[in-house]
Amino acid sequence: MDQAQIMKKEREDWMRLYHKTLKGIEMMIDVQRIVKDIKRIAEEANTIIIEIEGSILIMSTNNRVTNATNIV
């Protein structure tokens, strides 16, 4: 009888370890998903910043041309 209880306890210990390991793996997957989302958002923000930078450069060039025209 003692052997059966020992085996049952070992089985329960292994099951706890298995579930704890699964929870850890699920947490790692969630973190990877979050990092992927952050990377996507950063890429979108970078694209927007590049577009804004281009617009500012175009406006600056147009402003210089307008100023040169007005001076002449």
Q: Is 7 part of any domain? A: no
Q: Is 49 part of any domain? A: yes
Q: Is 39 part of any domain? A: yes
Q: Is the model's pTM score more than 0.85?
A: no
Mark 61-71 as b/e (b = at least 16 C-beta within 10 Å): eeeeeeeeeee
- What's the mean per-residue pLDDT of the chain? 92
Q: Is 45 part of any domain? A: yes
* Radius of gyration of the chain, Cα coordinates, nearest whole angstrom: 31
Half-sphere exposure (Cβ direction) of 14: Cα atoms closer than 13 Å: 6
Q: Is 56 part of any domain? A: yes
Q: Is the pLDDT of residue 67 over 90?
A: no
